Amino acid sequence: MDSGLAALLGAAVGSATTLGAAIVNARAQARSQHAQWSRQHRREAYAGYLSALHDRDLAMDAVLEALRSDQPDLPDIDEKIGRFVTLAREVHRACEVVILEGPASLADVAERVADASGDLSQVMRRMAENAHAGNATGKAEDSALAAERERTLYQAVKDFRLAARSVIGTTD
Protein backbone atom coordinates (compact mmCIF):
# COMPACT_ATOMS: atom_id res chain seq x y z
CA MET A 1 0.00 0.00 0.00
CA ASP A 2 1.22 3.44 -0.89
CA SER A 3 2.19 5.59 2.12
CA GLY A 4 0.09 8.51 0.82
CA LEU A 5 -2.97 6.28 0.55
CA ALA A 6 -2.31 4.89 4.06
CA ALA A 7 -2.05 8.43 5.44
CA LEU A 8 -5.27 9.43 3.69
CA LEU A 9 -7.02 6.31 4.97
CA GLY A 10 -5.70 6.96 8.51
CA ALA A 11 -6.91 10.56 8.37
CA ALA A 12 -10.34 9.43 7.18
CA VAL A 13 -10.64 6.86 9.98
CA GLY A 14 -9.47 9.43 12.53
CA SER A 15 -11.98 12.00 11.26
CA ALA A 16 -14.82 9.46 11.33
CA THR A 17 -13.90 8.46 14.87
CA THR A 18 -13.75 12.09 15.98
CA LEU A 19 -17.10 12.81 14.30
CA GLY A 20 -18.66 9.73 15.91
CA ALA A 21 -17.37 10.75 19.35
CA ALA A 22 -18.69 14.28 18.84
CA ILE A 23 -22.14 12.94 17.91
CA VAL A 24 -22.22 10.63 20.93
CA ASN A 25 -21.11 13.46 23.24
CA ALA A 26 -23.66 15.87 21.75
CA ARG A 27 -26.47 13.35 22.25
CA ALA A 28 -25.39 12.68 25.83
CA GLN A 29 -25.25 16.41 26.52
CA ALA A 30 -28.68 16.93 24.95
CA ARG A 31 -30.15 14.12 27.10
CA SER A 32 -28.53 15.61 30.18
CA GLN A 33 -29.86 19.09 29.40
CA HIS A 34 -33.34 17.72 28.72
CA ALA A 35 -33.31 15.80 32.01
CA GLN A 36 -32.26 18.98 33.85
CA TRP A 37 -34.97 20.98 32.07
CA SER A 38 -37.57 18.34 32.97
CA ARG A 39 -36.46 18.26 36.63
CA GLN A 40 -36.69 22.05 36.78
CA HIS A 41 -40.22 22.09 35.35
CA ARG A 42 -41.31 19.36 37.73
CA ARG A 43 -39.70 21.15 40.67
CA GLU A 44 -41.59 24.34 39.76
CA ALA A 45 -44.88 22.43 39.37
CA TYR A 46 -44.46 20.61 42.67
CA ALA A 47 -43.38 23.75 44.52
CA GLY A 48 -46.35 25.65 43.08
CA TYR A 49 -48.71 22.91 44.20
CA LEU A 50 -47.25 22.80 47.71
CA SER A 51 -47.45 26.59 47.94
CA ALA A 52 -51.09 26.58 46.83
CA LEU A 53 -51.84 23.81 49.35
CA HIS A 54 -50.18 25.83 52.10
CA ASP A 55 -52.22 28.96 51.33
CA ARG A 56 -55.45 26.98 51.10
CA ASP A 57 -54.72 25.14 54.34
CA LEU A 58 -54.15 28.43 56.16
CA ALA A 59 -57.52 29.62 54.89
CA MET A 60 -59.13 26.37 56.02
CA ASP A 61 -57.54 26.74 59.45
CA ALA A 62 -59.02 30.24 59.71
CA VAL A 63 -62.49 28.91 58.84
CA LEU A 64 -62.26 26.06 61.31
CA GLU A 65 -60.98 28.37 64.05
CA ALA A 66 -63.89 30.76 63.47
CA LEU A 67 -66.35 27.86 63.50
CA ARG A 68 -65.06 26.60 66.86
CA SER A 69 -66.09 29.83 68.57
CA ASP A 70 -68.97 29.71 71.03
CA GLN A 71 -70.58 32.65 69.18
CA PRO A 72 -69.45 32.32 65.53
CA ASP A 73 -69.46 35.51 63.48
CA LEU A 74 -71.38 34.23 60.45
CA PRO A 75 -70.50 37.03 57.99
CA ASP A 76 -66.82 36.59 58.92
CA ILE A 77 -67.11 32.82 58.46
CA ASP A 78 -68.77 33.29 55.06
CA GLU A 79 -65.97 35.64 53.99
CA LYS A 80 -63.34 33.14 55.14
CA ILE A 81 -65.12 30.33 53.33
CA GLY A 82 -65.12 32.44 50.16
CA ARG A 83 -61.34 32.89 50.47
CA PHE A 84 -60.95 29.17 51.09
CA VAL A 85 -62.98 28.32 47.96
CA THR A 86 -60.87 30.70 45.85
CA LEU A 87 -57.66 29.13 47.13
CA ALA A 88 -59.05 25.61 46.67
CA ARG A 89 -59.48 26.43 42.97
CA GLU A 90 -55.82 27.48 42.85
CA VAL A 91 -54.86 24.13 44.38
CA HIS A 92 -56.89 22.36 41.70
CA ARG A 93 -55.11 24.31 38.95
CA ALA A 94 -51.71 23.58 40.46
CA CYS A 95 -52.62 19.89 40.77
CA GLU A 96 -53.43 19.77 37.07
CA VAL A 97 -49.88 20.94 36.34
CA VAL A 98 -48.51 18.23 38.65
CA ILE A 99 -50.55 15.64 36.77
CA LEU A 100 -49.33 17.02 33.44
CA GLU A 101 -45.67 17.00 34.49
CA GLY A 102 -45.99 13.50 35.95
CA PRO A 103 -45.08 10.86 36.68
CA ALA A 104 -48.28 8.91 37.26
CA SER A 105 -47.09 7.74 40.69
CA LEU A 106 -46.95 11.35 41.88
CA ALA A 107 -50.38 12.07 40.44
CA ASP A 108 -51.67 9.20 42.59
CA VAL A 109 -50.17 10.78 45.71
CA ALA A 110 -51.69 14.15 44.73
CA GLU A 111 -55.05 12.39 44.40
CA ARG A 112 -54.70 11.13 47.99
CA VAL A 113 -54.07 14.74 49.08
CA ALA A 114 -57.22 15.82 47.22
CA ASP A 115 -59.24 13.03 48.86
CA ALA A 116 -58.00 13.95 52.36
CA SER A 117 -58.70 17.61 51.65
CA GLY A 118 -62.20 16.80 50.43
CA ASP A 119 -62.90 14.79 53.58
CA LEU A 120 -61.84 17.71 55.77
CA SER A 121 -63.77 20.20 53.63
CA GLN A 122 -66.89 18.11 54.05
CA VAL A 123 -66.65 18.42 57.85
CA MET A 124 -65.96 22.15 57.51
CA ARG A 125 -69.06 22.58 55.32
CA ARG A 126 -71.23 20.70 57.79
CA MET A 127 -69.88 22.83 60.66
CA ALA A 128 -70.68 26.00 58.67
CA GLU A 129 -74.19 24.80 57.86
CA ASN A 130 -74.79 23.97 61.53
CA ALA A 131 -73.48 27.38 62.59
CA HIS A 132 -75.89 29.08 60.17
CA ALA A 133 -78.74 26.95 61.48
CA GLY A 134 -77.79 27.72 65.09
CA ASN A 135 -77.30 24.00 65.73
CA ALA A 136 -74.43 23.31 68.14
CA THR A 137 -75.36 19.73 69.03
CA GLY A 138 -72.59 18.03 67.01
CA LYS A 139 -69.99 20.77 67.35
CA ALA A 140 -67.63 18.86 69.67
CA GLU A 141 -67.77 15.73 67.52
CA ASP A 142 -67.26 17.71 64.31
CA SER A 143 -64.32 19.59 65.85
CA ALA A 144 -62.72 16.29 66.86
CA LEU A 145 -63.38 14.83 63.41
CA ALA A 146 -61.92 17.94 61.75
CA ALA A 147 -58.75 17.60 63.87
CA GLU A 148 -58.44 13.93 62.86
CA ARG A 149 -58.91 14.77 59.18
CA GLU A 150 -56.39 17.60 59.45
CA ARG A 151 -53.82 15.06 60.63
CA THR A 152 -54.71 12.76 57.72
CA LEU A 153 -54.36 15.66 55.29
CA TYR A 154 -51.02 16.67 56.80
CA GLN A 155 -49.74 13.10 56.34
CA ALA A 156 -50.94 13.03 52.72
CA VAL A 157 -49.15 16.33 52.01
CA LYS A 158 -46.02 14.97 53.70
CA ASP A 159 -46.23 11.86 51.49
CA PHE A 160 -46.58 14.09 48.42
CA ARG A 161 -43.54 16.11 49.44
CA LEU A 162 -41.44 12.96 49.88
CA ALA A 163 -42.63 11.52 46.57
CA ALA A 164 -41.88 14.81 44.78
CA ARG A 165 -38.36 14.90 46.24
CA SER A 166 -37.81 11.38 44.97
CA VAL A 167 -39.02 12.24 41.47
CA ILE A 168 -36.80 15.30 41.11
CA GLY A 169 -33.85 13.43 42.56
CA THR A 170 -33.46 15.25 45.86
CA THR A 171 -32.63 12.69 48.52
CA ASP A 172 -31.25 14.86 51.32
21 falls within a domain: no
Q: Which residues does 26 contact at the CB level (< 8 Å), separation at least 6?
A: none
127 falls within a domain: yes
8 falls within a domain: no
13 falls within a domain: no
Q: What angle do CA 78, 54, 156 make, to 5 degrees?
A: 110
pLDDT for position 22: 67
| Distance, CA of 93 to CA of 91 (rounded, Å) | 5
Domain count, the chain: 1
pLDDT for position 23: 73
CATH number of the domain encompassing residue 124: 1.20.120
pLDDT for position 26: 63
| pTM greater than the 0.85 cutoff | no
Nearest-CA neighbor of 130 among 52, 88, 74?
Answer: 74
Q: What pLDDT, in 10s, does the model give residues 107-140?
A: 999 999 999 999 999 999 999 999 999 998 999 9
75 falls within a domain: yes
Question: What burial class does residue 64 get, using C-beta atoms within 10 Å of its C-beta: 0-12 exposed, 13-18 middle, 19+ buried?
Answer: buried
- Segments of the chain with pLDDT less than 50: none
Q: Give yes or no for a contact between 62 and 80, defined as CB atoms under 8 angstroms apart.
A: yes
| Domain interval for residue 74 | 42-168
pLDDT for position 7: 76
107 falls within a domain: yes
68 falls within a domain: yes
The count of other CB atoms within 10 Å of the CB of residue 149 is 19
Nearest-CA neighbor of 62 among 119, 124, 123, 114?
Answer: 124
28 falls within a domain: no
Q: What angle do CA 133, 138, 144 make, to 5 degrees?
A: 130
